[in-house]
Structure 1
């Protein structure tokens, strides 16, 4: 008798397990050959989302993005200003920071100064302030206007080292408004100076 009760218990447990299995299968569904294809399609969608996501992030120009931008703009400003000194055509080193029109203007000014037999001495003291005046996006192009207040020591000398203008000892405060531009969809993170406003 005891054996028969044990068999009955085993049969009952098997029936309960089968019932639970069927219920779970009904709720959760079963694996089919279609799932592999769906996973592949999902991976393709994820890939496209990952490709688009950086562009969406870079399109935003919030306070954090502006602060990061201004760090680079300050470096570019100092580099371009100091490259305009010494009459040794160091402006070429700043070429990647300038669009063609601004580069041509700077290069022309250097050549004219050289033809007159003049050269510039510029000592960059520092930037007092740099702030974004405005930013405007047209299509994928973002233009950012920055107002700089900086201090430099500058003077122009002739071939006999006679001072033509400025002073080698006096700190001069300068106010500049520069416009930087970047294609926000480009993988190149660098900005270019496209205009210097009067």
Structure 2
């Protein structure tokens, strides 16, 4: 069981900022309580077989502040591998953003938990009520770095920063562009936290927090 969330293998179903990306801040729609529209953003992280993936950039070594937490997670779960986790997290980043953009609540329900899930659902509902759709595309994940890691009450949490390029467009009910451009990619910087009970038989990690990187 890969600690990294190969959700692709587990669930088989197959991120500017939540508004643009997610639509409010989970992507950049406006801010995360309501996804933002600009480009906006792995319990172990899903990876879907056969799914096309964006260009992947360099991986950074975990930040020094994360060292103790990563050791604690590896001690509690010998199968945990930081590098594999980052690979899975990058796949999850793209899958979650794409699901949010197309309003796929079912897929989001398998990858996102808690208040983050509520924020996504709220943003999708508002977008649907306005008769708008998102025509966004994750061009590249330039870098992904683990910034922090910890175990609290038997739950492992890993915070990872994503630097990505996203092309985003918002269309009205008639298909007219009301915001954004498909020809320009906007640099996006997000910090997502994935969590997972270390003793759970389920190897998947869930997205439990999102924020814009400083």
> Shorter-chain-normalised TM-score: which range?
0.5 to 0.7
- TM-score (norm. length: structure 1): 0.65
Identify which of 111, 115, 128 aligns with 1:101.
115
Q: Deviations over 1:141-186 (max 9, x none)?
A: 1111000011121111111222221102111111100011010011
Q: Is the 8 A contact 1:58 1:184 kept in 2?
A: no
Partner Cα distance (2:151, 2:202) in 1: 17
Q: Larger relative CO (CA 8 A, sep 6+): 1 or 2?
A: 2
Identify which of 54, 78, 81 aligns with 2:97.
81
- How many residue pairs are counted as aligned between the two chains? 141
When residues 165 and 59 of structure 1 are mapped into structure 2, their CA distance, relative to the original with a 3 A threshold, is same
Question: Which residue of the partner structure matches residue 68 of structure 1?
Answer: 84
- TM-score (norm. length: structure 2): 0.61
Partner Cα distance (1:196, 1:81) in 2: 12
- The structure whose residues are more often helix, as a share, is 1
> Which SS does the other structure have where 1:170 is aligned?
strand
Partner Cα distance (2:73, 2:147) in 1: 23
Indicate the larger mover: 101-110 or 188-197. Answer: 101-110
Greater Rg by CA: 1
Identify which of 159, 163, 166 aligns with 2:180.
166
> Which SS does the other structure have where 1:142 is aligned?
strand
Q: Deviations over 1:2-48 (max 9, x none)?
A: xxxxxxxxxxxxxxxxxxxxxxxxxxxxxxxxxxxxxxxxxxxxxxx
- The structure whose residues are more often strand, as a share, is 2
Partner Cα distance (1:192, 1:121) in 2: 25
Partner Cα distance (1:197, 1:170) in 2: 23
